[in-house]
Chains A and B, each alone.
Chain A
Amino acid sequence: MRPDAKALLARLGQRDFQYRQFADPIADVEPWPLFAALLEDERVVGRADRATEERAPAKNFLSDYDDMSARGEPGQRHGGSLRAFLSGLSDDHTERR
Chain B
Amino acid sequence: MPLILCHSPVGGVGTTFLTARLALGLAARGHDVSAIDFTHADALKLFFGMLPAQEIPAMTDATTEGIVVDGVELLSGYAAVQSGAFGRLIARSGTSPFDSARIVLADVASADHALKTSLLPHAALHLCTLVPQPTSLAALAKVQPGTPTIDLEQTVFVLNQVDDTRKLSRHSQIFLRALFGDNLIATVRRDEAVNEALASFQPIVRYAKQSVVLPDLAAMTIAIEARCGLVAATEPAE
Contacts and interface: CB of A to CB of B under 8 A. Distances in A.
Contacts of B227: none
Contact of B180 (A28, A39, A57, A89): A57
B83 interface: no
Contact of B174 (A39, A57, A93): A93
Interface stretch (B116-124, B135-143, B192-200): B135-143
Contact of A44 (B150, B167, B171, B174): B150
Given A38-B141, A61-B178, A32 B171 contact: yes
Interface residues of A, number: 31
Given A28-B167, A34-B134, A44 B177 contact: no
- From B165, B168, B171, B180, name the one whose CB has the most chain A CB atoms within 10 angstroms: B171
A40 B178 CA distance: 15
B236 interface: no
A42 B145 CA distance: 11
Contacts of A28: 167
B228 interface: no
A29 B150 CA distance: 23
Interface residues of B, number: 26
A89 to B, nearest CB: 5
A61 to B, nearest CB: 5
A22 B164 contact: yes
A46 interface: yes
A46 B151 contact: yes
A44 B178 contact: no
B167 A57 contact: no
Nearest to B173: A93
Interface in A41-63: 41-46, 51, 55-58, 60-61
B150 A93 contact: no
Contacts of B211: none
User: Interface of chain A, helix or strand or loop or mixed?
Assistant: helix
A8 B106 CA distance: 40
B171 A29 contact: yes
Nearest to B141: A43
B175 A35 contact: yes
A44 B142 CA distance: 8
Given A46-B150, A56-B181, A61-B178, A25 B171 contact: yes
Contacts of B168: 32
Nearest to B183: A57
B229 interface: no
Contacts of A56: 181
Given A41-B141, A44-B140, A86 B174 contact: yes
Contacts of B180: 57
Interface of B: 134, 137-138, 140-142, 145, 148-151, 164-165, 167-168, 170-171, 173-175, 177-182
Interface of A: 22-23, 25, 28-30, 32, 34-35, 37-39, 41-46, 51, 55-58, 60-61, 85-86, 89-90, 92-93
